[in-house]
Structure 1
Amino acid sequence: MLDVLSEARQPLAFSEIVESTGFVKSSCHRILAVLQGEGIIEYDKPSRTYRTGSRLHQWARSAWRRIDLQQVAAEPMNRLSETTEMNAALSILDGQTILYLRTVEQTPVRYAAHSGDHAPLHCTAAGKVFLAHLSDARRQELLDDLDFEKFTEFTLTSLDQMKRSLWETKNNGFGKAIKEEFLQVTGIAAPIFNEQDDVVACLSLWALEHTADTDSVIAQSELLIEAAQGISKIIGWRPS
């Protein structure tokens, strides 16, 4: 049904949708009602026609932004990873998790994140960056709903610990997660801003303990921030 509506050059009447989909009328009514309730399609009463809705359009715009962002970030990510000899990742906020859009591996690891994988907010450097830059209300909403699962002995599991870490993240300009998700891993992340000065993505660096100790990873924060700001400028951000 969505294929029919999205490919149509003009809004469709109910009878046209029934004919194009081959669904029986009762099924058509039921599916249209669900899609309309979710904002995926819209019904125009005067013309008695259906068309794709605002939520579907928002998904399409988000998908294009992600594709563009991946393309923009590809070269800076590769360069940063080669320069630091560390693994790099590009992620976005996706509900109560981060979603990896692109990864670059200098040191292949069995449990390393790949494109399409999700990770928790509370124990990843990128997750802390996203939380630190949200509005107070949205941050508190997410923190109230988070399950502070303990992955290692270093995982932050209390609200007070997390709030202190988020203050440090905002103040330093980058987030860090030291052995919090995996005992062998230290990671840092810097925000990528859009033209409205909103954080739309994060650029991360991480390394295994036997290839780079914690201090060595954190020492790359200036290069990381510089790379993230370079990507931000390409997508329209201007430093205030």
Structure 2
Amino acid sequence: MSEGNQGRTLERALDVIESVSTSTDPLTLTQISRATGLHIATTKRILGTLEKRDYLKASPTGYTLGPRVLPHAHAFQLQDRLALISPPILREVATISSLTSSVFVASNDQRVLISRVEAPNALGYQFPIGQILSLTLGGGKVLLAYMDTDSQDAIVNEYASIDLADGRIQSSESLKKDLENIRTDGLFISTSERSRGTVSMTAPIRNGHDDVIASLTIAGHDGIINGDAILEHQSLVLQAARRISSQMH
């Protein structure tokens, strides 16, 4: 097999794994074939290999992720410096603010939760480590704002207007304005964008080269916090983000 064919085979296998991982229900051979754009025979061959290696598990209703993916997730938590140094600082932030504290990293056009400390007054929902969210809503905009121009343009230029959780409309122009303000202010406050009643503040985390590599978010519901009150924690959030950044050198 040529190097080019090996690369395409690997990409196809990853496409299949990602397709299955985004679903909460088992996916059939036909559904995976359609989602990945692969021929049914190619999909079946890849599924067989992944199932044999325990990356996927087959059942009468379809395919789900297999147990082999768990050691990789565990290894990431042990190897990734950001995942290692964030928890103590997040615990301190959550204790002082009484708000849930999280760290996200960008992955293509999404963001992934890699560390989280729930507040005493927990949100109405809980996210597991590995939760995937949008870059165009809430704190995801901070990561989007500091992306390289080409990557950012690819996302923003294809953006279609959506209704936010509180009924407001977010257009491409309003999204661009938010990104401009983030680059000016160095943080972002979100109210009822992704989830109604949720208020959050997000600041960038940088590496030793001053590149934004992650974001730190505090969040609560409007029963205990609002957009004005969360500003009281601005120094706390910015300082925590800088503390994590300083340890990424």
| Structure 2: gaps of 5 or more residues | 12-71
Matched with 1:226 is 239
| Aligned pair partner of 1:119 in 106, 129, 133 | 133
Change (3 A) 1:192 1:156: farther
Spell out, residue by residue over 1:170-217, the C-alpha distance to the aligned partner (whole angstroms, 9 max, x if none). Answer: 111111211111111011111110112111111100111001122111
Does residue 91 of the first structure (1) align with residue 104 of the second (2)?
Answer: yes
Counterpart residue number, 1:108: 122
| Equivalent position amino acid for 2:122 in 1 | P
How many corresponding residue pairs?
Answer: 187
Name the TM-score, length of structure 1 as normaliser.
0.70
**Alpha-carbon distance change, 188 to 211 in structure 1, aligned in 2, over 3 angstroms:** same
CA offsets per residue over residues 17-74 of structure 1, 9 Å max, x none? xxxxxxxxxxxx59x864334678xxxxxxxxxxxxxxxxxx99x9479722111111
Check conservation: 2:205, 2:215, Cα contact below 8 A. yes
The offset of 1:163, in angstroms, is 1.1
Q: CA RMSD in A?
A: 2.7
Which residue matches 1:197? 210
Correspondence 1:217 to 2:235 = no
Q: Say which is worse superposed, 81-90 or 62-71, in terms of deviation.
A: 62-71
Question: Structure 1 residue 148: deviation in Å?
Answer: 4.5
Q: Secondary structure at the match of 2:208?
A: coil
Name the amino acid aligned to 1:205.
I
SS of the equivalent of 2:243 reads helix
Structure 2-normalised TM-score?
0.67
What is residue 179 of structure 1 aligned with on the other side?
192
Equivalent residue number for residue 142 of structure 1: 155
**Partner SS, residue 170 of structure 2:** coil
How many percent identity over aligned positions?
17
Contact kept? 2:78, 2:84, Cα under 8 Å: no
Alpha-carbon distance between aligned partners in 1 of 2:115 and 2:217, rounded to the nearest angstrom: 10
String of CA shifts for 1:52-104, please: whole Å, max 9, x gaps: xxxxxxx99x9479722111111111001101111101100012111101111
Larger Rg: 1
Q: 2:180 aligns with which of 153, 167, 191?
A: 167
Amino acid at match of 1:191: P
- Structure 1: gaps (5+ residues): 1-28, 41-58
